A and B are shown apart, each in its own frame.
Chain A
Amino acid sequence: EIVVTQSPATLSVSPGERATLSCRASQSVGNNLAWYQQKPGQAPRLLISGTSTRATGVPARFSGSGSGTEFTLTISSLQSEDVGVYYCQQYKNWPPWTFGQGTKVEIK
């Protein structure tokens, strides 16, 4: 089973500033890495697939990068509506599909 680890656990960023979230896999997943956003009280929503492809309707301020075992989600200019928990997920080796434990993004 591939273990996925996210850091930091919590990220406090001022509005308009850059937020950088990290995700590490215990073995290479190629570019089979997705990011999900979960706002309080809501179901997760797909943000990015294939490491860097934004899902329909996702603002351009969200970008993904990386490959192999190290990945990054960047929010270039944090908006108030971006508050929530962000999860990465590998879909290279399954089952099981595995998620990171999440990074909580809050406004400073």
Chain B
Amino acid sequence: QVQLVQSGAEVKKPGASVKVSCKASGYTFIDFYIHWVRQAPGQGLEWMGWVNTNGGGTNFAQKFRGRVTMTRDTSISTAYMELSRLTYDDTAVYYCVRPDTSGWHYFEYWGQGTLVTVST
């Protein structure tokens, strides 16, 4: 069965960077993009971007451009999201997401989420 297992919670200071990992299993990793979605405390869902797990290309939401990097390591079926210059507003749960099998681009599989807390 498809599983996305994310790295553990992080506490970072303002101005620092955070890197979250997402290990995929149960399918061929390079056949599907990995998206990242975040959720601030008590708030809704916000799409951040995707990484093409085959070629490595990326696409980011406007508000994150210049501050986010998405990469992957195909040898270990793992995707990464790194966010730099953190502010208090970046405190959120970050989810990696795999789109549907049929190619319609909705979000069928979700990781368990990684809480990133930005605090002094």
**What is the total of A-B residue contacts with beta carbons within 8 Å?**
55
For residue B44, CB closer than 8 A to chain A, the reply is: yes
Assuming the contacts A43-B110, A43-B112, asked whether A91 and B44 have C-beta atoms less than 8 A apart, the reply is no
For residue B27, CB closer than 8 A to chain A, the reply is: no
Partner of B44, one of A43, A55, A100: A100
A33→B33 CA distance, assembly (Å): 19
Q: Which residues of A contact B88 (CB under 8 A)?
A: none
Complex contact A34–B111 (CB within 8 A): no
Q: Which residues of B contact A68 (CB under 8 A)?
A: none
Assuming the contacts A95-B47, A95-B59, A99-B47, asked whether A89 and B111 have C-beta atoms less than 8 A apart, the reply is no
Complex contact B44–A99 (CB within 8 A): yes
A28→B15 CA distance, assembly (Å): 40
Assuming the contacts A43-B95, A49-B100, A50-B104, asked whether A99 and B110 have C-beta atoms less than 8 A apart, the reply is no
